[in-house]
Amino acid sequence: MRFKAYLFDMDGVVLNSMPYHVKAWQEAFQEFGLTVSPNLLYLYEGAIEPDTAVQLFCNNGCTITKNDFEKILARQKQIFQERYRVLVSPYPEIPEILSTLFGMGASTALVTSSHREILNSILPKEILAYFNCVITGDSVERRKPYPDPYLKAIEALGATSDEAVAIENAPSGILSAKQAGASCIAIKTTLDEQHLQKADMVVEDHRELKSAICHTK
């Protein structure tokens, strides 16, 4: 699979950060007397916003107000930064994947719903240096699952949608990429294949991802 532009999600694709984000979410909810299943948090990764979260959690048996959620969100970020960010690292295959794409002359972008502050605290500079552009959640008006982040990345790389492929691990990211007209490879780092079926291809792990996009084994 050869493309001009390769667009990487960060949490759960480049970094092993999702379990730590989920732990921070659970601890933040617990401080407010609420229990939320990890699977729910994985399913809605990157798409939990104050305007939509109240209905989402109410539909899943967890009644909160928008004001409550904004407090929980702020606490989640604090817990993650204080307790978990030091545990985050890139997946072992990521440096080789990015280096190979660089050698192929491909353009790469990092497209994440995380804010720049979080990105700067967990993404190693040597990994950041591989990306031609970075799109964060606070740099677009509408985050994933809307197409805006991927459309912005594709434009920044001087590519067209049919020349771009996104690598994602969550339904909201897959939907964002597909609505932007890009191809999408989903990786099973956080969810089973049944939740990733809207992607064009699903890979088991980063070794299989490397083989798919770099033509290496």
The model's pTM is 0.93
Instruction: Identify the H or E element spanning 5.
Output: strand 5-8
Range with the poorest average pLDDT among 36-45, 57-66, 114-123: 57-66
What would the two tokens of residue 104 be?
């192929």
Cross-strand partners of 11 = 15
How many whole angstroms separate alpha carbon 87 and alpha carbon 178? 32
From residue 30, alpha-carbon distances to 37, 51, 72 in Å are: 11, 21, 9
Delineate the domains of the chain, giving CATH numbers in brackets. 5-16+89-214 (3.40.50.1000), 18-86 (1.10.150.240)
Per-residue pLDDT tens for 114-148? 999 999 999 999 999 999 999 999 999 999 999 99
How many whole angstroms separate alpha carbon 206 and alpha carbon 190? 12
Per-residue pLDDT tens for 181-206? 999 999 999 999 999 999 999 999 99
What would the two tokens of residue 203 be?
């890979």
